[in-house]
Amino acid sequence: MSSAIDLLKEYAETGTLEALPFGHFIDGAFAQPSHNRTLESFDPGRSMAFARFTAGTAEDVDQAVMSSRAAFETVWRDTAPVERARILQKASALILDNLDLLAVTETLDSGKPLQEALGDVRGAARTFEYYAGACDKLQGDSFPLGPDHIGYTIHEPVGVTAHIIPWNFPISTAARGFAPALAAGCTVVAKPAEQTPFTALLLARILSDAGLPDGVCNVVTGTGRETGAPLTAHTDVDHITFTGSVQTGRTVMKTAAEEITRVVLELGGKSPVVVLADCDREQALTGVLGAIYENAGQICSAGSRLVIEKSIHEQFVGDLAARVNALTLGHGLEKPDVGPVNSAGHLAKVAGFIDRARERGANIVAGGSVTHDPATGKGWFFEPTIVDAVAADDELAQDEIFGPVLTVQVADDADHALELANDCQYGLVAGIYTSNFARAHQLARRIDAGQIYINEYFAGGVEVPFGGNKKSGFGREKGLEGLKSYCKTKSIAARIT
Protein backbone atom coordinates (compact mmCIF):
# COMPACT_ATOMS: atom_id res chain seq x y z
CA MET A 1 0.00 0.00 0.00
CA SER A 2 1.12 3.56 -0.68
CA SER A 3 3.33 5.38 1.79
CA ALA A 4 2.76 8.97 2.86
CA ILE A 5 5.55 10.07 0.51
CA ASP A 6 3.86 8.31 -2.43
CA LEU A 7 0.48 9.81 -1.55
CA LEU A 8 1.88 13.32 -1.22
CA LYS A 9 3.61 12.96 -4.59
CA GLU A 10 0.40 11.67 -6.18
CA TYR A 11 -1.61 14.57 -4.82
CA ALA A 12 0.98 17.11 -5.95
CA GLU A 13 0.92 15.67 -9.48
CA THR A 14 -2.78 14.91 -9.92
CA GLY A 15 -4.68 17.00 -7.37
CA THR A 16 -6.47 13.92 -6.04
CA LEU A 17 -5.90 10.38 -4.72
CA GLU A 18 -6.81 7.29 -6.70
CA ALA A 19 -7.56 5.32 -3.53
CA LEU A 20 -10.48 7.52 -2.49
CA PRO A 21 -13.70 5.46 -2.37
CA PHE A 22 -16.84 6.25 -4.34
CA GLY A 23 -20.42 5.30 -3.60
CA HIS A 24 -22.17 4.45 -0.35
CA PHE A 25 -20.90 1.49 1.67
CA ILE A 26 -23.96 -0.75 2.07
CA ASP A 27 -24.23 -4.46 2.80
CA GLY A 28 -20.48 -5.05 2.75
CA ALA A 29 -19.60 -3.27 -0.50
CA PHE A 30 -19.52 0.10 -2.21
CA ALA A 31 -22.97 0.40 -3.73
CA GLN A 32 -24.42 2.26 -6.67
CA PRO A 33 -26.54 5.19 -5.40
CA SER A 34 -30.21 5.55 -6.18
CA HIS A 35 -29.39 8.66 -8.22
CA ASN A 36 -26.15 9.50 -10.01
CA ARG A 37 -25.67 12.81 -8.22
CA THR A 38 -22.38 13.86 -6.72
CA LEU A 39 -20.92 16.59 -4.54
CA GLU A 40 -17.44 18.10 -4.42
CA SER A 41 -15.11 17.71 -1.46
CA PHE A 42 -12.74 20.64 -0.95
CA ASP A 43 -9.15 20.83 0.23
CA PRO A 44 -9.34 23.74 2.73
CA GLY A 45 -5.61 24.40 2.41
CA ARG A 46 -6.03 25.20 -1.27
CA SER A 47 -9.72 26.22 -1.25
CA MET A 48 -10.13 23.89 -4.23
CA ALA A 49 -12.14 20.74 -4.89
CA PHE A 50 -10.01 17.58 -4.94
CA ALA A 51 -12.63 14.80 -5.30
CA ARG A 52 -16.29 14.01 -5.80
CA PHE A 53 -18.52 11.77 -3.72
CA THR A 54 -22.05 10.43 -3.84
CA ALA A 55 -24.97 12.66 -2.89
CA GLY A 56 -27.33 10.25 -1.19
CA THR A 57 -31.11 10.29 -0.81
CA ALA A 58 -33.71 8.97 1.61
CA GLU A 59 -33.91 5.89 -0.59
CA ASP A 60 -30.22 5.17 0.01
CA VAL A 61 -30.70 5.69 3.74
CA ASP A 62 -33.60 3.27 3.77
CA GLN A 63 -31.52 0.65 2.00
CA ALA A 64 -28.71 1.09 4.54
CA VAL A 65 -31.05 0.88 7.53
CA MET A 66 -32.77 -2.22 6.19
CA SER A 67 -29.35 -3.82 5.67
CA SER A 68 -28.34 -3.04 9.24
CA ARG A 69 -31.66 -4.25 10.62
CA ALA A 70 -31.29 -7.59 8.85
CA ALA A 71 -27.69 -7.96 9.98
CA PHE A 72 -28.65 -7.18 13.57
CA GLU A 73 -31.55 -9.63 13.66
CA THR A 74 -29.83 -12.52 11.90
CA VAL A 75 -26.11 -12.25 12.68
CA TRP A 76 -24.51 -9.62 14.85
CA ARG A 77 -26.48 -9.51 18.09
CA ASP A 78 -25.99 -13.25 18.50
CA THR A 79 -22.31 -13.27 17.54
CA ALA A 80 -20.30 -14.41 20.54
CA PRO A 81 -18.62 -11.49 22.34
CA VAL A 82 -15.20 -13.07 21.89
CA GLU A 83 -15.76 -13.20 18.12
CA ARG A 84 -16.81 -9.56 18.07
CA ALA A 85 -13.64 -8.79 20.00
CA ARG A 86 -11.44 -10.55 17.46
CA ILE A 87 -12.99 -8.59 14.59
CA LEU A 88 -12.53 -5.26 16.37
CA GLN A 89 -8.96 -6.14 17.26
CA LYS A 90 -8.26 -7.00 13.63
CA ALA A 91 -9.83 -3.69 12.59
CA SER A 92 -7.49 -1.85 14.95
CA ALA A 93 -4.50 -3.48 13.28
CA LEU A 94 -5.81 -2.72 9.79
CA ILE A 95 -6.34 0.94 10.68
CA LEU A 96 -2.65 1.15 11.53
CA ASP A 97 -1.77 -0.72 8.33
CA ASN A 98 -3.66 2.03 6.47
CA LEU A 99 -2.30 4.85 8.64
CA ASP A 100 -0.84 6.97 5.83
CA LEU A 101 -3.83 6.74 3.51
CA LEU A 102 -6.29 7.57 6.29
CA ALA A 103 -4.21 10.46 7.62
CA VAL A 104 -3.50 12.07 4.26
CA THR A 105 -7.17 11.72 3.32
CA GLU A 106 -8.20 13.27 6.63
CA THR A 107 -5.87 16.21 6.07
CA LEU A 108 -7.14 16.84 2.55
CA ASP A 109 -10.78 16.59 3.66
CA SER A 110 -10.61 18.55 6.91
CA GLY A 111 -7.53 20.77 6.46
CA LYS A 112 -5.88 19.80 9.74
CA PRO A 113 -2.08 19.43 9.90
CA LEU A 114 -0.86 15.99 8.93
CA GLN A 115 0.74 15.36 12.32
CA GLU A 116 -2.65 15.90 13.97
CA ALA A 117 -4.37 13.63 11.44
CA LEU A 118 -1.80 10.90 12.14
CA GLY A 119 -2.60 11.23 15.83
CA ASP A 120 -6.32 10.98 15.10
CA VAL A 121 -5.87 7.78 13.09
CA ARG A 122 -3.72 6.21 15.80
CA GLY A 123 -6.39 7.23 18.30
CA ALA A 124 -9.04 5.53 16.17
CA ALA A 125 -6.99 2.32 16.19
CA ARG A 126 -6.67 2.56 19.96
CA THR A 127 -10.44 3.04 20.27
CA PHE A 128 -11.13 -0.23 18.46
CA GLU A 129 -8.46 -1.95 20.54
CA TYR A 130 -10.02 -0.65 23.76
CA TYR A 131 -13.56 -1.79 22.93
CA ALA A 132 -12.29 -5.09 21.57
CA GLY A 133 -11.13 -5.76 25.11
CA ALA A 134 -14.53 -4.82 26.52
CA CYS A 135 -16.72 -7.09 24.36
CA ASP A 136 -16.60 -10.11 26.65
CA LYS A 137 -16.60 -8.11 29.89
CA LEU A 138 -19.99 -6.45 29.58
CA GLN A 139 -21.39 -8.08 32.69
CA GLY A 140 -24.68 -7.64 34.52
CA ASP A 141 -25.42 -7.71 38.24
CA SER A 142 -27.14 -10.13 40.58
CA PHE A 143 -29.49 -9.11 43.39
CA PRO A 144 -29.75 -10.60 46.90
CA LEU A 145 -33.43 -11.56 46.90
CA GLY A 146 -33.20 -14.30 49.49
CA PRO A 147 -33.21 -18.11 49.24
CA ASP A 148 -36.48 -18.39 47.30
CA HIS A 149 -35.62 -16.10 44.40
CA ILE A 150 -32.85 -15.24 41.97
CA GLY A 151 -32.46 -11.86 40.31
CA TYR A 152 -29.99 -10.56 37.76
CA THR A 153 -29.52 -8.11 34.89
CA ILE A 154 -28.19 -8.56 31.39
CA HIS A 155 -27.04 -5.88 28.93
CA GLU A 156 -28.60 -6.25 25.50
CA PRO A 157 -27.63 -4.34 22.36
CA VAL A 158 -30.08 -1.56 21.63
CA GLY A 159 -30.30 -2.41 17.91
CA VAL A 160 -29.67 -0.29 14.81
CA THR A 161 -27.69 2.82 15.68
CA ALA A 162 -27.42 6.00 13.58
CA HIS A 163 -24.23 8.06 13.75
CA ILE A 164 -24.06 11.65 12.52
CA ILE A 165 -20.35 12.45 12.18
CA PRO A 166 -19.01 16.04 12.24
CA TRP A 167 -16.40 17.54 9.93
CA ASN A 168 -13.82 18.57 12.52
CA PHE A 169 -12.77 15.08 13.72
CA PRO A 170 -14.20 12.67 11.15
CA ILE A 171 -12.29 9.47 11.85
CA SER A 172 -12.00 10.08 15.60
CA THR A 173 -15.73 10.65 16.03
CA ALA A 174 -16.61 7.73 13.77
CA ALA A 175 -14.38 5.40 15.77
CA ARG A 176 -15.65 6.47 19.18
CA GLY A 177 -19.21 5.71 18.01
CA PHE A 178 -18.69 2.66 15.80
CA ALA A 179 -16.43 0.73 18.18
CA PRO A 180 -18.62 0.68 21.32
CA ALA A 181 -21.77 0.15 19.27
CA LEU A 182 -20.26 -2.87 17.53
CA ALA A 183 -18.76 -4.15 20.79
CA ALA A 184 -22.21 -4.09 22.40
CA GLY A 185 -23.70 -6.06 19.50
CA CYS A 186 -25.40 -3.16 17.70
CA THR A 187 -25.28 -2.42 14.00
CA VAL A 188 -24.28 0.94 12.53
CA VAL A 189 -25.55 3.32 9.88
CA ALA A 190 -23.37 6.41 9.59
CA LYS A 191 -23.74 9.74 7.80
CA PRO A 192 -20.43 11.64 7.67
CA ALA A 193 -20.43 15.40 7.18
CA GLU A 194 -20.64 16.43 3.55
CA GLN A 195 -17.38 18.36 4.00
CA THR A 196 -15.46 15.24 5.10
CA PRO A 197 -16.97 12.01 3.73
CA PHE A 198 -14.00 9.83 2.91
CA THR A 199 -12.48 8.40 6.10
CA ALA A 200 -15.83 7.03 7.30
CA LEU A 201 -16.13 5.15 4.01
CA LEU A 202 -12.57 3.87 4.29
CA LEU A 203 -13.21 2.81 7.89
CA ALA A 204 -16.31 0.84 6.85
CA ARG A 205 -14.24 -1.00 4.24
CA ILE A 206 -11.52 -1.73 6.80
CA LEU A 207 -14.11 -3.21 9.16
CA SER A 208 -15.38 -5.41 6.36
CA ASP A 209 -11.82 -6.53 5.62
CA ALA A 210 -11.45 -7.35 9.31
CA GLY A 211 -14.34 -9.81 9.06
CA LEU A 212 -17.33 -7.72 10.05
CA PRO A 213 -20.41 -9.38 8.52
CA ASP A 214 -22.13 -7.61 5.64
CA GLY A 215 -24.64 -4.99 6.73
CA VAL A 216 -23.31 -4.54 10.24
CA CYS A 217 -21.68 -1.21 9.33
CA ASN A 218 -23.16 0.92 6.54
CA VAL A 219 -22.16 4.46 5.50
CA VAL A 220 -24.30 6.81 3.42
CA THR A 221 -22.87 10.12 2.17
CA GLY A 222 -24.67 13.31 1.24
CA THR A 223 -26.12 16.44 2.75
CA GLY A 224 -27.71 16.77 6.14
CA ARG A 225 -31.08 17.59 4.60
CA GLU A 226 -31.17 14.68 2.14
CA THR A 227 -29.43 11.92 4.12
CA GLY A 228 -28.93 13.03 7.72
CA ALA A 229 -32.54 14.04 8.33
CA PRO A 230 -34.03 10.83 6.83
CA LEU A 231 -31.60 8.78 8.91
CA THR A 232 -32.48 10.38 12.25
CA ALA A 233 -36.19 10.20 11.40
CA HIS A 234 -36.13 6.58 10.26
CA THR A 235 -38.62 4.43 12.14
CA ASP A 236 -36.25 1.44 12.19
CA VAL A 237 -33.40 3.26 13.95
CA ASP A 238 -33.19 2.47 17.66
CA HIS A 239 -30.52 4.95 18.77
CA ILE A 240 -28.94 8.18 17.46
CA THR A 241 -25.48 9.44 18.30
CA PHE A 242 -25.16 13.03 17.12
CA THR A 243 -22.14 15.32 17.29
CA GLY A 244 -22.64 18.85 16.01
CA SER A 245 -24.19 22.23 16.69
CA VAL A 246 -26.80 23.04 19.32
CA GLN A 247 -29.24 24.16 16.64
CA THR A 248 -29.03 20.89 14.71
CA GLY A 249 -28.99 18.93 17.97
CA ARG A 250 -32.36 20.44 18.88
CA THR A 251 -33.76 19.29 15.56
CA VAL A 252 -32.38 15.79 16.03
CA MET A 253 -33.85 15.62 19.53
CA LYS A 254 -37.27 16.75 18.32
CA THR A 255 -37.17 14.22 15.50
CA ALA A 256 -36.12 11.43 17.88
CA ALA A 257 -39.03 12.29 20.16
CA GLU A 258 -41.51 11.28 17.47
CA GLU A 259 -40.39 7.65 17.68
CA ILE A 260 -39.04 7.78 21.27
CA THR A 261 -35.60 7.02 19.84
CA ARG A 262 -32.68 7.04 22.25
CA VAL A 263 -30.20 9.88 21.74
CA VAL A 264 -26.67 10.83 22.77
CA LEU A 265 -25.94 14.48 21.96
CA GLU A 266 -22.45 15.96 21.98
CA LEU A 267 -22.96 19.60 21.08
CA GLY A 268 -21.07 22.86 21.43
CA GLY A 269 -18.61 24.15 23.95
CA LYS A 270 -17.04 27.33 25.27
CA SER A 271 -14.64 25.70 27.63
CA PRO A 272 -12.71 27.70 30.23
CA VAL A 273 -9.05 27.18 31.06
CA VAL A 274 -8.59 28.49 34.60
CA VAL A 275 -5.00 29.64 35.22
CA LEU A 276 -4.22 30.62 38.80
CA ALA A 277 -1.23 32.63 40.03
CA ASP A 278 0.49 29.62 41.60
CA CYS A 279 0.55 27.58 38.40
CA ASP A 280 3.61 26.19 36.68
CA ARG A 281 3.89 29.04 34.17
CA GLU A 282 5.55 27.05 31.37
CA GLN A 283 3.13 24.18 31.77
CA ALA A 284 0.16 26.55 31.61
CA LEU A 285 1.45 28.47 28.57
CA THR A 286 1.99 25.23 26.65
CA GLY A 287 -1.40 23.89 27.70
CA VAL A 288 -3.36 27.03 26.81
CA LEU A 289 -1.65 27.24 23.41
CA GLY A 290 -2.54 23.66 22.48
CA ALA A 291 -6.03 23.89 23.94
CA ILE A 292 -7.18 26.53 21.46
CA TYR A 293 -4.97 26.31 18.37
CA GLU A 294 -4.98 22.57 17.71
CA ASN A 295 -7.09 21.92 14.58
CA ALA A 296 -7.32 25.72 14.18
CA GLY A 297 -9.62 25.85 17.20
CA GLN A 298 -12.25 23.72 15.47
CA ILE A 299 -12.80 21.48 18.48
CA CYS A 300 -15.97 21.38 20.53
CA SER A 301 -13.85 20.91 23.66
CA ALA A 302 -11.28 23.57 22.74
CA GLY A 303 -10.07 25.72 25.61
CA SER A 304 -11.49 28.84 24.01
CA ARG A 305 -11.68 30.94 27.19
CA LEU A 306 -8.59 31.75 29.26
CA VAL A 307 -9.80 32.67 32.75
CA ILE A 308 -6.67 34.03 34.40
CA GLU A 309 -5.94 35.43 37.83
CA LYS A 310 -5.34 39.19 37.75
CA SER A 311 -1.91 39.16 39.39
CA ILE A 312 -0.31 37.24 36.50
CA HIS A 313 -2.62 38.34 33.70
CA GLU A 314 -0.51 40.95 31.92
CA GLN A 315 2.76 39.01 31.83
CA PHE A 316 1.10 35.71 30.96
CA VAL A 317 -0.91 37.14 28.06
CA GLY A 318 2.17 38.95 26.77
CA ASP A 319 4.19 35.73 26.79
CA LEU A 320 1.31 33.85 25.19
CA ALA A 321 0.92 36.45 22.43
CA ALA A 322 4.61 36.15 21.58
CA ARG A 323 4.21 32.40 21.14
CA VAL A 324 1.05 32.82 19.09
CA ASN A 325 2.75 35.26 16.75
CA ALA A 326 5.50 32.68 16.16
CA LEU A 327 3.09 29.92 15.08
CA THR A 328 3.43 28.81 11.47
CA LEU A 329 0.45 28.61 9.11
CA GLY A 330 0.22 26.47 6.02
CA HIS A 331 -1.33 23.60 4.12
CA GLY A 332 -1.93 20.63 6.38
CA LEU A 333 0.32 18.34 4.32
CA GLU A 334 3.25 20.68 5.10
CA LYS A 335 2.80 20.02 8.83
CA PRO A 336 2.37 23.63 10.01
CA ASP A 337 1.54 24.59 13.58
CA VAL A 338 -1.92 25.76 12.46
CA GLY A 339 -3.85 24.77 9.36
CA PRO A 340 -6.87 26.31 7.63
CA VAL A 341 -10.46 26.37 8.77
CA ASN A 342 -12.70 23.92 7.00
CA SER A 343 -14.71 26.04 4.56
CA ALA A 344 -15.25 29.49 3.12
CA GLY A 345 -18.52 29.79 4.99
CA HIS A 346 -16.93 28.91 8.30
CA LEU A 347 -14.07 31.35 7.68
CA ALA A 348 -16.63 34.11 7.21
CA LYS A 349 -18.31 33.13 10.47
CA VAL A 350 -15.05 33.28 12.44
CA ALA A 351 -14.09 36.58 10.83
CA GLY A 352 -17.51 38.01 11.65
CA PHE A 353 -16.96 37.50 15.38
CA ILE A 354 -13.68 39.43 15.27
CA ASP A 355 -15.01 42.17 12.99
CA ARG A 356 -17.84 42.83 15.42
CA ALA A 357 -15.45 42.72 18.38
CA ARG A 358 -13.17 45.23 16.67
CA GLU A 359 -16.15 47.54 16.16
CA ARG A 360 -16.84 47.31 19.90
CA GLY A 361 -13.27 48.38 20.64
CA ALA A 362 -11.93 44.98 21.68
CA ASN A 363 -8.26 44.67 22.60
CA ILE A 364 -6.90 42.23 19.99
CA VAL A 365 -3.37 41.44 21.11
CA ALA A 366 -2.53 38.81 18.48
CA GLY A 367 -3.88 37.92 15.05
CA GLY A 368 -7.37 39.01 14.17
CA SER A 369 -7.43 38.78 10.37
CA VAL A 370 -8.29 36.49 7.47
CA THR A 371 -5.13 35.30 5.75
CA HIS A 372 -3.86 32.59 3.39
CA ASP A 373 -1.14 29.99 2.99
CA PRO A 374 2.05 32.07 2.73
CA ALA A 375 3.50 29.50 0.32
CA THR A 376 0.65 29.56 -2.21
CA GLY A 377 -1.63 32.49 -1.42
CA LYS A 378 -4.52 30.03 -1.26
CA GLY A 379 -6.70 28.43 1.38
CA TRP A 380 -9.18 29.41 4.08
CA PHE A 381 -7.03 30.68 6.94
CA PHE A 382 -7.60 32.84 9.98
CA GLU A 383 -4.71 34.12 12.04
CA PRO A 384 -4.34 32.63 15.54
CA THR A 385 -5.98 35.32 17.63
CA ILE A 386 -6.12 36.53 21.23
CA VAL A 387 -8.72 39.02 22.45
CA ASP A 388 -7.82 40.34 25.90
CA ALA A 389 -9.91 41.39 28.90
CA VAL A 390 -13.33 40.45 27.53
CA ALA A 391 -16.46 41.10 29.59
CA ALA A 392 -18.44 38.08 30.76
CA ASP A 393 -21.53 39.05 28.76
CA ASP A 394 -19.67 39.65 25.49
CA GLU A 395 -20.49 37.25 22.64
CA LEU A 396 -16.80 36.29 22.51
CA ALA A 397 -17.18 34.89 26.03
CA GLN A 398 -20.61 33.34 25.53
CA ASP A 399 -20.84 31.99 21.97
CA GLU A 400 -18.92 29.22 20.29
CA ILE A 401 -16.66 30.68 17.59
CA PHE A 402 -15.14 27.32 16.60
CA GLY A 403 -11.95 28.85 15.29
CA PRO A 404 -8.43 29.89 16.38
CA VAL A 405 -9.68 32.63 18.70
CA LEU A 406 -8.82 32.77 22.41
CA THR A 407 -10.98 34.96 24.64
CA VAL A 408 -9.25 36.20 27.81
CA GLN A 409 -11.24 36.87 30.98
CA VAL A 410 -9.56 38.34 34.05
CA ALA A 411 -10.43 36.97 37.51
CA ASP A 412 -9.76 38.63 40.86
CA ASP A 413 -9.10 35.30 42.58
CA ALA A 414 -10.00 31.60 42.48
CA ASP A 415 -13.60 32.19 43.56
CA HIS A 416 -14.09 34.78 40.84
CA ALA A 417 -12.48 32.40 38.33
CA LEU A 418 -15.05 29.77 39.27
CA GLU A 419 -17.85 32.27 38.77
CA LEU A 420 -16.56 33.22 35.32
CA ALA A 421 -15.97 29.60 34.34
CA ASN A 422 -19.59 28.68 35.08
CA ASP A 423 -21.09 31.84 33.56
CA CYS A 424 -21.77 30.23 30.20
CA GLN A 425 -24.53 28.27 28.45
CA TYR A 426 -22.13 25.41 27.72
CA GLY A 427 -20.60 22.80 30.02
CA LEU A 428 -18.45 20.43 28.01
CA VAL A 429 -14.95 20.51 29.52
CA ALA A 430 -12.72 22.79 31.58
CA GLY A 431 -9.03 23.06 32.38
CA ILE A 432 -7.35 24.06 35.63
CA TYR A 433 -3.71 25.08 36.12
CA THR A 434 -2.52 25.42 39.70
CA SER A 435 0.12 23.88 41.97
CA ASN A 436 -2.42 23.64 44.82
CA PHE A 437 -4.01 20.24 44.31
CA ALA A 438 -6.62 20.72 47.00
CA ARG A 439 -7.80 23.88 45.25
CA ALA A 440 -7.66 22.12 41.87
CA HIS A 441 -9.99 19.36 43.03
CA GLN A 442 -12.29 21.81 44.79
CA LEU A 443 -12.64 23.71 41.52
CA ALA A 444 -13.05 20.47 39.59
CA ARG A 445 -16.06 19.59 41.74
CA ARG A 446 -17.68 22.99 41.37
CA ILE A 447 -17.13 23.74 37.68
CA ASP A 448 -20.20 22.61 35.75
CA ALA A 449 -18.66 20.54 32.95
CA GLY A 450 -18.63 16.93 31.87
CA GLN A 451 -14.85 16.55 32.01
CA ILE A 452 -12.13 18.45 33.87
CA TYR A 453 -8.42 18.55 32.97
CA ILE A 454 -5.90 19.45 35.68
CA ASN A 455 -2.45 20.69 34.63
CA GLU A 456 -2.73 19.09 31.18
CA TYR A 457 -5.42 20.02 28.69
CA PHE A 458 -6.82 17.06 26.70
CA ALA A 459 -5.42 14.67 29.33
CA GLY A 460 -6.68 11.11 29.21
CA GLY A 461 -7.83 9.06 26.24
CA VAL A 462 -10.50 6.62 25.16
CA GLU A 463 -10.61 5.24 28.70
CA VAL A 464 -12.10 8.51 30.06
CA PRO A 465 -15.84 9.19 29.54
CA PHE A 466 -16.57 12.32 27.49
CA GLY A 467 -19.71 14.42 27.17
CA GLY A 468 -21.34 17.63 28.24
CA ASN A 469 -23.73 19.36 30.58
CA LYS A 470 -26.10 22.26 29.92
CA LYS A 471 -26.30 23.09 26.19
CA SER A 472 -23.27 20.93 25.48
CA GLY A 473 -25.63 17.97 25.39
CA PHE A 474 -26.07 14.77 27.39
CA GLY A 475 -24.97 11.18 27.39
CA ARG A 476 -21.39 9.97 27.43
CA GLU A 477 -19.00 8.59 24.86
CA LYS A 478 -15.68 6.82 25.39
CA GLY A 479 -14.84 4.64 28.37
CA LEU A 480 -17.18 1.98 29.68
CA GLU A 481 -19.87 4.64 30.00
CA GLY A 482 -19.76 4.96 26.24
CA LEU A 483 -20.32 1.22 25.89
CA LYS A 484 -23.40 1.42 28.09
CA SER A 485 -24.89 4.03 25.76
CA TYR A 486 -25.45 1.24 23.24
CA CYS A 487 -27.02 -1.20 25.71
CA LYS A 488 -30.43 -1.66 27.24
CA THR A 489 -30.56 -3.27 30.65
CA LYS A 490 -32.96 -6.13 31.25
CA SER A 491 -33.82 -7.25 34.78
CA ILE A 492 -34.84 -10.84 35.45
CA ALA A 493 -36.31 -12.13 38.70
CA ALA A 494 -37.46 -15.72 39.31
CA ARG A 495 -38.85 -17.81 42.10
CA ILE A 496 -36.71 -20.92 42.41
CA THR A 497 -38.55 -22.88 45.10
Active site residue: 300, 309, 383, 424, which one?
Answer: 300
Q: Does residue 493 contact residue 150 with C-beta atoms inside 8 Å?
A: yes
Length of the chain: 497
Q: Which residues pair with 157 in a beta bridge?
A: 487
Residue 7 sits at the vertex; the CA angle it makes with 4 and 9, to the nearest 5 degrees, is 110
| Catalytic pick among 266, 294, 309, 400 | 266
Q: Are strands 469-470 and 426-427 parallel, antiparallel or unpaired?
A: antiparallel
Beta bridge mates, 274:
307, 432
User: In 3-state terms, what secondary structure has residue 291?
Assistant: helix
19, 2 contact by CB (below 8 A): yes
Phi and psi, residue 107, nearest 5°: -65, -45
Rounded Cα–Cα distance for residues 27 and 30 (Å): 8
Residues 34/57, Cβ–Cβ less than 8 Å: yes
Residues 6+ apart with CB under 8 A from 262: 158, 238, 239, 240, 256
Q: Cα dihedral sign for 150, 155, 160, 166?
A: positive
Is 300 among the residues known to form the active site?
yes
Nearest residue to 243 via CA among 322, 169, 149, 188: 169
Asked about 266 being catalytic, the answer comes back as yes
Which amino acid, residue 265? L
Looking at the annotation, which residues are catalytic? 266, 300
